[in-house]
C-alpha cells in the first residue's frame, strides 16, 4: 500500500536516521536515501528540519506503542513496568534515536513525550490509590527517567533496581500489586 507523499517522506527520513544515525552531511543523506539534493530540499528545509521530523515521528510511534500496550495492563503499576520495559527496549532496538535523545537531554524536558507519558501514568496511579498522592510528580519523573534511561546495564540486580525506583512512588496497595506482577519479561529484551 502506497503512503501519501507527506507520510512517505517522514517514514523515509525516519528510517534513514534509524539505520544510519545523525552524523552525516546532507550529501551523504541524499546519497544514502537515493534521492537528489533537489528532492531532499523540496521535502525538507534542511538537515535540521529533517532531523526534527524524524524525531517527532519517533516520539509519536513510542506514544502510540505504549498507549496500545497499556490497554492490556491491569493497573497503573503494571503500566509503569511496561514503560520501563519499553524504555529499555528502545535503547536496544532504536539506539540511534535513543542516543540522540540522551545527548540532547530530550528524555526529561518539559515537552518530552516520555515525561508526558510518565506524568499521565503517575496521575492515573494516584487517582487509583496505587501511587503516593504527595509525590512531586515532575521531580520524581526526572529521577525515574534518569535512572531508567541513563543507567546502561542493570546486571543481576534488575528487580532490586526497579523496586528501588518505585519505592518512593508506591502506596501499600501499589506495593502489593508490584509483588503480584511477574517481572521476568522486563529482563528479556528482544534482540
For the chain, domain boundaries: 1-55, 73-187
Low pLDDT (below 70) residues in the chain? 1-5, 152-156, 185-191
Note the Cα 37 to chain centre separation in Å. 32
Give the helix/strand (H/E) hosting 121: helix 113-127
Please give the grid coordinates belonging to residue 131: 501511587
Q: Cα(9)–Cα(3) distance, rounded to whole angstroms?
A: 9
In the prediction, which pLDDT does 147 show? 86
For 1-55, give the CATH class.
mainly alpha
pTM for the whole structure = 0.83
In the prediction, which pLDDT does 28 show?
Answer: 95
19-59 confidence digits (pLDDT tens): 999 999 999 999 999 999 999 999 999 999 999 999 999 99
User: Whose grid coordinates read 518505585?
Assistant: 166
pLDDT of res. 123: 96
Neighbouring residues of 145: CB distance < 8 A, sequence distance ≥ 6: 87, 107, 108, 114, 115, 118
- Take residue 123 and report the three cell numbers written for it: 496521575
Amino acid at each position: 500500500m502506497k503512503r501519501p507523499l507527506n507520510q512517505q517522506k517522514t517514514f523515509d527520513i525516519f528510517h534513514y536516521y534509524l539505520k544510519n544515525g545523525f552524523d552525516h552531511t546532507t550529501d551523504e543523506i541524499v546519497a544514502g536515501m537515493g534521492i537528489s539534493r533537489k528532492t531532499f530540499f523540496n521535502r525538507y528545509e534542511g538537515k535540521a528540519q529533517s532531523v526534527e521530523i524524524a524525531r517527532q515521528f519517533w516520539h509519536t510511534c513510542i506514544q502510540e506503542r505504549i498507549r496500545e500496550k497499556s490497554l492490556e495492563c491491569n493497573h497503573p503499576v503494571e503500566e509503569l513496568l511496561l514503560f520501563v520495559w519499553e524504555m529499555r527496549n528502545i535503547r536496544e532496538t532504536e539506539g540511534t534515536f535513543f542516543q540522540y535523545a540522551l545527548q540532547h537531554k530530550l528524555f526529561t524536558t518539559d515537552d518530552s513525550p516520555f515525561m508526558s507519558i510518565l506524568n499521565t501514568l503517575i496521575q492515573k496511579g494516584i487517582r487509583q490509590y496505587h501511587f503516593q498522592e504527595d509525590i512531586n510528580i515532575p521531580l520524581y519523573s526526572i529521577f525515574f527517567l534518569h535512572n531508567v534511561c541513563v543507567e546502561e546495564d542493570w546486571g543481576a540486580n534488575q528487580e532490586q533496581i526497579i523496586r528501588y525506583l518505585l519505592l518512593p512512588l508506591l502506596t501499600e496497595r501499589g506495593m502489593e500489586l508490584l509483588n503480584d506482577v511477574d517481572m521476568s519479561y522486563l529482563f528479556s529484551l528482544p534482540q
